[in-house]
A and B are shown apart, each in its own frame.
Chain A
Amino acid sequence: MCLAVPALIKSIEGNQAEVDMAGTSYKASITLTPGARVGDYVLLHTGYAIQIVDQKEAQETIRMFQEMGMV
């Protein structure tokens, strides 16, 4: 039930954002992530963004996976 999926913020109006998830647009509340900006990926849970995806951390984890086993 704690499912949350990454969605890209396309526009923001007040506490409401339009987000893109795999090519489909949804309306989402950013009440819980007031720092969210257009271009951020947020984790969407039951219509609310519950966290901003840290893209730098994501890239770092991916890089570490790629480098694993090469040493």
Chain B
Amino acid sequence: MKFVDEFRNSQSGKKLIDRIVQRSKKPARLMEFCGGHTVAIFKYGIRQLLPPNIEMLSGPGCPVCVTATEDLDRVIALSRLPGITTATFGDLLKIPSSRSSLQQARAEGSDIRVVYSTLDALDIARKNPDRPVVFVGIGFETTAPTIAASILQAKAEGLKNYYVISLHKLTPPVTKAILDAGETNLSGIVCPGHVSTVIGAKAWDFIPRDYSIACAVSGFEPLDILYCISMLVEQIEAGQPKMEIAYPRAVRPEGNRQALKLMEQVFEVCPANWRGIGTLPGSGLRIRNEFAAFDAERAFDIRVEEPPKEPPGCLCGAILRGVATPLECKLFGTACTPEQPVGPCMVSSEGTCAAYYHFGGGYG
């Protein structure tokens, strides 16, 4: 595939690794924010290729993993309301909530459909005008504009039965929260590539400016990631942290203005509850009053009878904050596997526990 294969070239990969090995002298703790990066790093064996002074940590960049249990409880309660069709990305289906999962609700009779895009959810709404269709709006800034576009489309068409429950989360505020907590002692951050496609690389300027931490935006092919790590190493060795782009074919400093415009038109910033991290101000998106007719939280009476509860022994919270690795979790690989997951990080294909389980071996 064009613009994919060229970035998997093994000869260039070797040169990049040589450069990293040659240049990197200081101990470096790097966090990849994005779950897509976590998977790519494991899949291509990048951790094993790095010199021992470079340590890679995984961050909170898996939207379904950071969805708060109580929010998921509400989605499940909503899906159980009579006559409702729930449309969701497949990643969310198996995530265990306090007492159930969407998959279990579906087995018990709820009409829950897995869609690839909000365009499919709009189609379901068009074909079933007598049924309310609720799309579960989960994702970071990459996905939020597509969901904003679907609400604008529904409004333009006069669709009266399309709703969104907005559980979107914003990535710079949670990165700040992790850095402010001071638990991870990072020297560099591999910034999320496709989030930055939308919000622009400038959104990360605060990392070198306010925290003196190295920072570069990476793509998802192995050469992209190695290039990003080599940029971080140069910054760390020189003691000059700055914001760089290792993915210039997709990421511009200012991002995608049209996507940002639609996102801001439909959503407003609000506090959001992150699994394992807690409620962070200004880290979520809710539907603006002007689009209240499409807001499932306002349209339906969602009631959760019992308080949320977390699975005992699960370390997902600490893993999402980058303060524990899956290898430190007693449930990992025994009580908790992709077939019988206990926590969300084992369920999602890009969850840190799933990546360790499938590709990790002993390389933590």
**Interface, chain A (partner B; CB < 8 A):** 1-6, 8, 21-22, 27, 29, 31-34, 41, 43, 45-48, 50-51, 53-55, 57-58, 60-62, 65-66, 68-69
Contact = CB atoms under 8 A, between A and B. Distances in A.
Contacts of B89: 1, 46
Contacts of A50: 142, 145-146, 194, 197-198, 256, 259
B258 A22 contact: no
B249 interface: yes
Given A6-B4, A47-B119, A51-B197, A1 B139 contact: yes
A34 B149 CA distance: 13
B1 A2 contact: no
B126 to A, nearest CB: 15
A26 to B, nearest CB: 10
Contacts of B62: 1
A4 B194 contact: yes
B118 A32 contact: no
Interface residues of B, number: 56
B197 A43 contact: yes
Contacts of B36: 1-3
Interface of B: 1-4, 6-7, 9, 12, 15-16, 18-19, 34-36, 61-64, 89, 91, 116-120, 138-140, 142-143, 145-146, 149, 152-153, 192-195, 197-198, 220, 223, 227, 248-252, 256, 258-259, 262, 348, 350
B82 to A, nearest CB: 29
B116 A3 contact: no
Contacts, number: 134
Nearest to B35: A1
B119 A29 contact: yes
Nearest to B91: A1
A33 B2 contact: no
A6 B247 CA distance: 13
B227 A61 contact: yes
B64 A2 contact: no
Contacts of B348: 1
Contacts of B146: 29, 32, 45-48, 50
Contacts of A53: 3, 249-250
Nearest to B219: A61
A32 B350 contact: no
B18 A69 contact: yes
Given A53-B249, A66-B12, A68-B12, A47 B116 contact: yes
A61 B9 CA distance: 12
Residue among B16, B61, B259 with max Cβ neighbours from chain A (10 Å)? B259
Contacts of A57: 248-249
B258 A34 contact: yes
Contacts of A4: 142, 194, 197, 250
Nearest to A21: B1
A42 B205 CA distance: 26
